[in-house]
Structure 1
Amino acid sequence: MPERPAALIVGAGPAGLMAAEELARAGLPATVAEAKPSVARKLLMAGKSGLNLTKSEDPAAFRAAFTEAAPWLAPMLDAFGPEEVQAWARGLRQELFTGSTGRVFPTAMKASPLLRAWLARLAEGGVTLRTRWRWTGFDSDALRFDTPGGPRLLTPEVTILALGGASWPRLGSDGAWAPWLAAQGVPVSPFRPANAGLAVDWSPHIARQFGSPVKGTRLTAGDTATRGEYVLSERGLEGGAIYALTRALRDGAPLTADLAPDLSADALAARLARPRGKASLTNHLRKSLRLDPARLALLMEFGRPLPEGPALAARIKALPIRHAGLRPLAEAISTAGGVPHAALDDDLMLRARPGTYAAGEMLDWEAPTGGYLLTACLATGRWAGRAAARRLQG
């Protein structure tokens, strides 16, 4: 026979755990079902290189990073934005610092101390955590689970789905839920990679530069331009500057690199016109333009045969980057697509299934890296948790 818990959260990532915290804060029992043996695996992975909690900037600028989704996400981000995220983390006794670009990190840098403190607080609040409970779809009004104790059916009074998108499936976000919701009459936008690297079929000569950061360039794709760091990897180009252009690249915009963004084309041509004596062209470029090995490697990879005179300056200012498209969806940091705004009411409840809410990356929004992703997951989880608590209370 189906069990009937008061509140069920499916997915124990940041959005799901925040929803559970809001139900516990309201004094309501909540059960969290997680398919993996442990919780918040993607959060822990993100914390390996420094857990970027949020970004300290003007609220309007913060919201603008969410582009088309900004209007409907605005109330949630206003209620739980960068300042509130920092206060929440400090409430878990995590010391924070803000970097030069406004990004906010725990002083410990890792996610594990924050997660341990968070799970302890949830346990104190009466939240029940069930790991290795894999949701396998609906059975009439019930949700069906494969568990260590065998199949289980649950018919909660309220359900919050926080299942993630379709990136990094080995960490739990595999998008398997999409056809189950579609069968319930919930429209689901196709998944697409967001914050993804570029695949490049390199020539052999560039292998010595694999792992090198590329600094001091401006990348342009379509109407979007960015200055930032990225890395030459065996698989292609990866890093924040590339991720910021994913949307334009996904839509087919060509990619160009300005290898000397602080110099005009005329100034560049003047430097190149200096006598070079017996120096090779490579040494002349390195000395006259102060191009480091990584930028020189890009120029030789994508710019040859190199022209002479002003044409060379023009190529350095707008070097076409040939690539084989975005890396696969499973390798993207996040995904676009999922449950669209039109399928939800103002409380993030599914219009096709009253009493069931959705939160986090399974919603159809995208944002760049830099603290935006995690903040929105927390904010939408909090919003759905509060709405579910109000429904339970009557």
Structure 2
Amino acid sequence: MTSDASRIIDVAVLGGGPAGLIAAQRLAQAGRSVVVFEKMPTFGRKFLMAGRGGLNLTHSEDFERFVARYGERAGPLRPMLEAFTPADLVGWARDLGQETFVGASGRVFPKVMKASPLLRAWLARLEGLGVSLRTRCAWAGWDADGALLVDGPGGREAWRPRATILALGGASWPKLGSDAAWTGVLEGQGAKVAPFAPANCGFEVSWSAIFRDRFAGEPLKNVRLACDGRRARGDAMVAGYGLEGGAIYALGPAPREAIARDGYATLTIDLRPDLPAETLERRLSGARGGQSLANHLRKALKLSPVEVNLLREAHGLDLPSEPAALAAAIKAAPIRLRSARPLERAISAAGGVVFDSLDGLALRSRADVFLAGEMLDWEAPTGGYLLQACFATGVAAAKAAEERLGE
């Protein structure tokens, strides 16, 4: 058991993901005694999951465009992103021995395309700074005297940190630790928590059995999507349940909000965004001869089998044969989205503690408690924006905690 005296520390960090670990690093570098509590057996589980696709750390685009990716939450996040920029994140990775590169899309990755070497170097750096890293330790709120309660392998312990940073994650991928079990405790402290909803997720579509069985797993390359006033361009993927992929995620909350409002969302797909309808019409006006419509579309416009059959899913089996109408169908194929995929399968989550219910990042009822990461009410598309905001809010929470300790 830990002695009562040793439980009096400068800062307790609850949560061993990117937001919590960067906060711990900053505070330890400032000379503070820090303990990080993680309820899972190992640190950074969701960070490692993100690394399976290459670990998209951040994005290299213009900063104003970068900030705009956070939509309605760009306002409260801007000062934190300005204080810890994408360039700062790249420099942090380099300091841990991990050089990065910018991909063709502008996304930034470690050259090794893995998260595990970076995480190992990071944990070693934290231990070298004197940070105590404790796993299998779950936060249990506070007792009547205000002590921080942690349920660990040896039972419940009461800690008395001078400041506390909560970086407990959102509600996506709960098996990796982000189960939002903290919601009730913080609501009891007066924090307003917006309900969690899946973000960066796929959507259910009622495909025909023939289309589903034949084309599940096929990509839709370089398409333009529109939904409820929001537009995005990129690649999507046909799944057995519906549609997923980067272009879908880039639509942000628009499909989810349309479904909540109307019971469904209409996704309009432009299969040839680089060609105006007039050009398509001209190419389709060539002699068709005795070839099938599918072959005509393949030869005239290089439409793939999945694209041709997607048109049939969108417009019905009898596609128009007149060139102008067929061109219009290709430029606007409507697909009805029935529902978002479950929260536990989403890459990230919308919702969390509302900024307006905090004083900066501090609880109004407990000025020594600061929040960071996906606990906060913000969302962003994939592309490096998720990790960047987790790091930036962690750095901001550490700064606020250090100011509190200085007082």
TM (norm. structure 2) is 0.93
Q: Which of 168, 188, 191 lines up with 1:183 in the alignment?
A: 188
Of 209-218 and 367-376, more deviation after overlay is shown by: 209-218
Q: Counterpart in 2 of 1:173?
A: 178
Correspondence for 1:66: 70
Amino acid of the residue matched to residue 237 of structure 1? L
Matched residues in 2 for 1:164 and 1:295: separation?
Answer: 38
After TM superposition, give the deviation of residue 175 of structure 1 in Å.
1.0
Q: Is the 8 A contact 1:196 1:246 kept in 2?
A: no
Matched, 1:152 2:166: no
Which residue number corresponds to residue 233 of structure 1? Answer: 239
Q: Counterpart amino acid of 1:176?
A: A
Deviation at 1:28, TM superposition (A): 0.7
- More moved, 189-198 vs 22-31: 189-198
3-state SS of paired residue (1:190): strand
Partner of 2:54: helix, strand, or coil? coil
How far apart are the structure 2 equivalents of 1:355 and 1:190? 25
Note the C-alpha offset of 1:51.
0.5
Instruction: Please tell me whether the aligned partners of residues 22 and 389 of structure 1 are also in contact (alpha carbons under 8 angstroms).
Output: no
Report how far residue 295 of structure 1 moved: 1.4
Tell me the alpha carbon deviations over residues 71-118 of structure 1, each in whole angstroms, 9 at most, x when there is no partner.
Answer: 221111111111111111100010111111211100000000000111
Distance of 1:61 and 1:67 partners within structure 2: 11
Q: Given the alignment of the two structures, is residue 355 of structure 1 paired with residue 360 of structure 2, yes or no?
A: no
Give RMSD over aligned pairs. 1.5
Per the alignment, residue 262 of structure 2 pairs with none
Match runs of 1:67-106 below 5 Å = 67-106=71-110
Superposed displacement of residue 312, structure 1? 2.3
Distance 2:96 2:256 in 1: 39
2:334 match: 320
The correspondence for 1:37, drawn from 32, 37, 41, is 41
User: 267, 270, 280: which one pairs with 1:268?
Assistant: 280
Report the residue type matching 2:96 in the other structure.
L
Mean Cα deviation higher: 160-169 or 337-346 = 337-346
Which deviates more, 74-83 or 199-208?
199-208
Three-state SS of the structure 1 residue aligned to 2:297 is: helix
Distance 1:373 1:246 in 2: 13
Deviations 1:226-270 (A, max 9, x none): 110111122221111000113110111521001121222222223
Displacement of 1:274 in angstroms is 2.1
**1:293 and 2:305 aligned:** yes
1:204 shift after superposition: 2.0
Confirm or deny: 8 A CA contact 1:343 1:352 kept in the other structure. no
Q: 2:404 aligns with which of 388, 391, 394?
A: 391
Q: Could you tell me whether the CA contact under 8 Å between 2:165 and 2:370 is conserved in 1?
A: yes
Gaps of 5+ in 1: none
Following TM superposition, by how much is the alpha carbon of 1:138 offset from its aligned partner in structure 2, in angstroms?
3.0
Shift of 1:335: 1.2
The answer to whether residue 372 in structure 2 is matched with residue 368 in structure 1 is no
Tell me, in whole angstroms, the C-alpha distance in 1 between the residues paired with 2:198 and 2:289: 49
In structure 2, distance between residues paired with 1:146 and 1:7: 17
Q: Is the 8 A contact 2:252 2:380 kept in 1?
A: no
SS at match of 1:321: strand
2:314 partner amino acid: F
Deviation of 1:205 after TM superposition, in Å, equals: 1.7
Structure 1 counterpart of 2:240, which letter?
A: E
CA deviations on 1:153-198 (whole Å, 9 max, x unpaired) are: 2232111000111101011111111111001111111112211111
CA distance in 1, matches of 2:56, 2:181: 27
Between the two proteins, the alignment pairs up a number of residues equal to: 393
User: Which residue type is aligned with residue 154 of structure 1?
Assistant: W
Q: 2:315 touches 2:329 (CA, 8 Å); kept in 1?
A: yes
Confirm or deny that 1:132 pairs with 2:136.
yes
- Asked if 1:340 corresponds to 2:354, the answer is yes
The reply on whether 1:244 has 2:250 as its aligned counterpart is: yes
Question: 1:177 & 1:330 partners in 2: Cα distance?
Answer: 17
* Runs ≥4 residues deviating over 4 A: none
- Structure 2 unaligned blocks of 5 or more: 259-264
| Displacement after TM superposition at 1:5 (Å) | 2.7
Name the SS for the 2:40 alignment partner: coil
CA deviation map 1:45-67 (0-9, x unaligned): 00011011111122211111112
Asked if 1 retains the 8 angstrom alpha-carbon contact of 2:266 and 2:337, the reply is no
The code of the aligned residue for 1:173 comes to: S
CA distance in 1, matches of 2:287, 2:147: 79
Match of 2:112 among 105, 108, 133: 108
1:286 counterpart SS class: helix
Greater Cα offset, 305-314 or 107-116: 305-314
TM-fit CA distance, 1:26:
0.7
- Paired position in structure 1 for 2:319: 306
Opposite residue 334 of structure 2, the aligned amino acid is P
Q: Supply the distance in 2 between the matched residues of 1:31 and 1:150 (Cα, whole angstroms).
A: 17
Aligned residues of 2:166 and 2:372 also touching (Cα < 8 A): yes
| Structure 2 counterpart of 1:312, one-letter code | L
